Structure 1
Amino acid sequence: MDQPNVVLVASPGLGHLIPILELGNRLSSVLNVNVTILAITSGSSSSAETEAIRVAAARTACQITELPSVDIDNLVEPDATVFTKIMVKIRATKSAVREAVESMKPKPTVMIVDFLGTGLMSVADDLDLTAKYVYVPSHAWFLAVMVYMPVWDTTVEGEYVDIKEPLKIPGCKPVGRKELMETMLDRSDQQYKECVRAGLEVPTSDGVLVNTWEELQGNTLAALREDEELSRVIKVPVYAIGPIVRSNGHVEKHNGIFEWLDKQRERSVVYVCLGSGGTLSFEQTIELAWGLELSGQKFLWVLRRPASYLGASSSDDDQVIESLPKGFLDRTCGVGLVTTQWAPQVEILSHRSVGAFLSHCGWSSVLESLTKGVPIVAWPLYAEQWMNATLLTEEIGVAVRTSELPSEKVIGREEVASLVRKIVAEEDEEGQKIRAKAEEVRVSSERAWTQGGSSHRALFEWAKRCRLVS
């Protein structure tokens, strides 16, 4: 009997491509099914996406097909947001996706789109596939917000940012002003309307796969399945199959980062990285640098170009270093290491000397940290990262966060130093509790994927429903 075929569609951008690649790898290795990934490229960063596809193809059994970028200049306003452009580009690629799926032999039985690609699910209907699913590479609270947004859209008057009371979701944590996603800040903007449209389309699927696990978010998952009002909104089954993260790769023996880390005490280093899109203002870069120095703690900083240097070429590292306070590198020599190059994040977080992660709180980075038992200094910058920071601090208890949103106010050096010391310094009582909780979460994340663990069971339950396994 031939192996079943599953087709996954990745939205444009590395942040969407990588989670789909990892899901495909998991389905292929655990369920022993044939997986084809259709990668819709963004055009603007196609070289980075092509490199990610090349690397992924070398270490996975999945078949990866790169779909050419579609010109949408005549379909969007010149000042349209990145989110709007992605959503429009996905819909404009529908015919290419249909042709690619139609040409697959044997025909796939299941189609999975990420949460931005819900507009492509009609392809599965057109081609009479057995089932169509949505993959949410984020957490259950994000999913609840996504599917409940159409309800708010018809019941809440005015802008969400002006409402004094948090927005309520049945059975879930409410969403306050500090948790509003960027797409929710202006209800007249097309990106908000695109978000509402996606929320309406999710319940037209056959179910949702979400990158979390029962032990991490049991209450929210229970609400999505069992709360009378919320389950009536989402309508379809929810499968918690996380954490799905990148696995450790090969590290060059003489890599300077790891040579430096090898010399540090266990759990003594704070790793600082704000993601591939995490640019700070020049002023904030200065304050972050001073804060790291004042903390007295060891640090490894993957330094991105400050926003004021965005016009510089990617190879101009001197300008990046010039954004640091005068004499900073000399004063912190031996205490800290600053690199402007790409750094292998999963391998760094796996290193015994790393004791904290100052992070933008993208969910992929969060999971990479939690699965290694590394607590977080939350520094949310955009998208759903503000929600993630609240989840990590108030519900899960594995992080500390800035007093104000870094996107709205410069965080001063004293606060930076205090946050870092709280997480890394051994004598801090609150930090001890957070570190203990992070280790607890690490253990539960491993347990979820053991034979018979919650995520392992959920994946096979889903696979049986789709007739991928007997």
Structure 2
Amino acid sequence: MTKAELVFIPSPGMGHLLSTIEFAKLIIKNNQYISILVITFHMPIYTLTAMEDYVESQSRQLDPNHFTFLTLPPLSNMPDHDSPTFYNSITELQKPLIKQALVARSTKPAAFVLDLMCVTMIDIANELGIPSYMYFTAGACFLNLMLHFQELVHDKGVDLTTELSNPDTELVLPFFRNRVPSKVIPLLFADKEGGWSMLIHDISRRFREVKGIIVNTFVELESYAIQTLHDHDKIPTVYPVGPVVALDVHNRYGGGGPQLEDRDDSIMRWLDEQPLSSVVFLCFGSMGSFDEEQVKEIANGLDRCGHRFLWSLRRPSSRGKVVLPSENEIFEEALPEGFLDRTTHRGKIIGWASQVQILAHQAIGGFVSHCGWNSILESSWFGVPIATWPIYSEQQLNAFELIKELELAVDIRMDYRRDLRMNNGNFVVMAEEVETGVNTLMSMGDQMRQRIREMSDTSRKVLQNGGSSHNCLIRFIREVLEGPTSSDKFQ
């Protein structure tokens, strides 16, 4: 019999969902007296199939005594996609459905565990007398940035949009050792007219209302940023419990049909034929695609550098739509004439594939990455060096942290940004930059490679008994179990 139920509400994005469910598994692995209800809802601007298939596969595979999945029905009164209040509106419209579902259950949850974009669900928890925690799927530096900027704007009246409008400005931030160029700060913070900056500050303010903030990082990776959070007397308790990575997922869906399995087997067979640490892997996340002009420059850079490569080249979505790029279609027509013939002996072009499986392969010697936080933790786990090519969200900040603060990566262009709706970037990264970046990555010096190997070893040790992240997880579980239990009834 379980003693306490936790209600997890992840944001409807694949990276958030994967990380959230992996964290839930980690809790159950360490305490069999807890059960978990995962509530998911639809975000119609994204392709839903991937998330729906993944949730279905997890509901089949996981122990029903410990895991329950509830998918809310699609909304009939959908808000405007282009409005800065879209995410807030979607979340607000889910609240009555979530409250109704919880009240209908016979027992009262011990706690809510909310994604950062679902933090307004605190209102439901408060109504029902349930404590709330936040699971932060990004890193400690970005959490610091959100809290710091919110304080500057709301408490001190600072006009950040003006300060961030100059790309040459360098900011002194208490959780970075180095000055931070404004061009790597997420654009949302500078969007005064569109209303996005106020939205993100309002969300950040609510972080202070939760009982604790669980962060997918570990002390030994972001020691300076985590110490800054611990020293702050106006924020809740912080629990660094990472790296939370989905190591046992064969592919995105946790299963998949024969077509996906055949494709993955073909990739693994090709990697098996390559020398140790000889292949550079280029992959840019769930939203990762480029327009034709940028694809040609990447291809020309790979053509010139001469290294073996495995490139996830996915066809972008139509302009004017923010949806996932194609899973299976390769954007071959964008490649320069003769490229495939010239590189057939040393390169392979693929669509989507299991990133974890590929990074784990001994033939991979470097990773050109968009610097999503999950990808950073995965590459750190397997000890694969990164060349940074961020695209959107907080990825530019992550790239800066990897290169300047942690000295664990090399740069291609840390200030690159892509408009997800128009499928184009703020500039084109030229073939010469790609060539130089890949060459630097694949010829990385022994000192940096040693640091990466040591961080890989550390990332595994922190999750073991007595490790820093394991200790934080046990503290969190103990706190949950000492609070309301499932024997409490709703009033």
Matched, 1:207 2:216: no
Structure 2: gaps spanning 5 or more residues: 252-260, 418-425, 486-491
Query: What displacement does 1:336 show?
Result: 0.4
Match of 2:289 among 248, 255, 279: 279
- Name the counterpart of 1:185: 190
Match of 2:48 among 46, 53, 78: 46
SS in 1 for 2:170: coil
Cα distance between partner residues in 2 of 1:148 and 1:402: 28
Whether the 8 Å CA contact 1:358–1:379 is kept in 2: the answer is: yes
Structure 1: gaps spanning 5 or more residues: none
Matched, 1:389 2:399: yes
- Name the counterpart of 2:4: 4
Q: Deviations over 1:274-311 (max 9, x none)?
A: 11212212111101111112111111011111467889
Query: What displacement does 1:468 show?
Result: 5.9
More displaced stretch, 254-263 vs 406-415? 406-415
- Name the counterpart of 1:367: 377
Letter in 2 for 1:146: M
**1:72-87 alignment, distance < 5 Å:** 72-73=77-78, 75-76=79-80, 79-80=82-83, 84-87=85-88
Query: What displacement does 1:269 show?
Result: 0.7
Query: What displacement does 1:71 show?
Result: 4.3
Query: What displacement does 1:267 show?
Result: 1.0
SS in 2 for 1:34: strand
Whether the 8 Å CA contact 1:269–1:298 is kept in 2: the answer is: yes
Cα distance between partner residues in 2 of 1:169 and 1:316: 42
Query: What displacement does 1:454 show?
Result: 0.2
Letter in 1 for 2:354: P
Alpha-carbon RMSD across the aligned residues, in angstroms, is 2.4
Cα distance between partner residues in 2 of 1:412 and 1:205: 45
Whether the 8 Å CA contact 1:14–1:49 is kept in 2: the answer is: yes
SS in 2 for 1:243: coil
Q: Which structure exhibits the higher relative contact order, with contacts defined as CA atoms closer than 8 Å and separated by 6 or more residues?
A: 2
Q: Could you say if the C-alpha distance between residues 404 and 113 of structure 1 is closer, same or farther in structure 2, counting changes exceeding 3 Å?
A: closer
- Name the counterpart of 1:246: 246
Query: What displacement does 1:405 show?
Result: 2.4
Runs of 4+ in 1 over 4 A off after TM superposition: 250-254, 306-316
Query: What displacement does 1:85 show?
Result: 2.1
Q: Deviations over 1:352-405 (max 9, x none)?
A: 111111111111111111111111011001100001101111112221112462
More displaced stretch, 59-68 vs 460-469? 460-469
Q: Could you say if the C-alpha distance between residues 435 and 104 of structure 1 is closer, same or farther in structure 2, counting changes exceeding 3 Å?
A: farther
Whether the 8 Å CA contact 2:390–2:413 is kept in 1: the answer is: no
Match of 2:354 among 324, 332, 344: 344
- Name the counterpart of 1:125: 126
Q: Deviations over 1:102-144 (max 9, x none)?
A: 2334321011001111110121111112x21011011111111
Query: What displacement does 1:101 show?
Result: 2.2
- Name the counterpart of 1:58: 60
- Name the counterpart of 1:21: 21
Whether the 8 Å CA contact 2:165–2:190 is kept in 1: the answer is: no
Identity %: 29
More displaced stretch, 458-467 vs 186-195? 186-195
Q: Could you say if the C-alpha distance between residues 276 and 315 of structure 1 is closer, same or farther in structure 2, counting changes exceeding 3 Å?
A: closer
Query: What displacement does 1:462 show?
Result: 1.2
- Name the counterpart of 1:356: 366
Matched, 1:325 2:326: no
Whether the 8 Å CA contact 1:27–1:35 is kept in 2: the answer is: no
Match of 2:466 among 431, 436, 452: 452
Cα distance between partner residues in 2 of 1:208 and 1:118: 11
**1:250-269 alignment, distance < 5 Å:** 250=250, 252=261, 255-269=265-279
Whether the 8 Å CA contact 2:135–2:215 is kept in 1: the answer is: yes
More displaced stretch, 456-465 vs 44-53? 44-53
Cα distance between partner residues in 2 of 1:165 and 1:451: 44
Q: Could you say if the C-alpha distance between residues 403 and 314 of structure 1 is closer, same or farther in structure 2, counting changes exceeding 3 Å?
A: closer
Q: Deviations over 1:191-230 (max 9, x none)?
A: 211100111100011010000001011111111111xxxx
Matched, 1:159 2:162: yes
Q: Could you say if the C-alpha distance between residues 327 and 379 of structure 1 is closer, same or farther in structure 2, counting changes exceeding 3 Å?
A: same
Q: Could you say if the C-alpha distance between residues 180 and 132 of structure 1 is closer, same or farther in structure 2, counting changes exceeding 3 Å?
A: same
Whether the 8 Å CA contact 2:219–2:240 is kept in 1: the answer is: yes
Cα distance between partner residues in 1 of 2:187 and 2:61: 35
Cα distance between partner residues in 2 of 1:404 and 1:134: 28
So what's the TM-score if we normalise by structure 2?
0.87
Whether the 8 Å CA contact 2:134–2:210 is kept in 1: the answer is: yes
Whether the 8 Å CA contact 1:111–1:133 is kept in 2: the answer is: yes
Whether the 8 Å CA contact 1:133–1:205 is kept in 2: the answer is: yes
SS in 2 for 1:189: coil
So what's the TM-score if we normalise by structure 1?
0.90
Q: Deviations over 1:315-351 (max 9, x none)?
A: 8837x210111111110012000012x2011111101
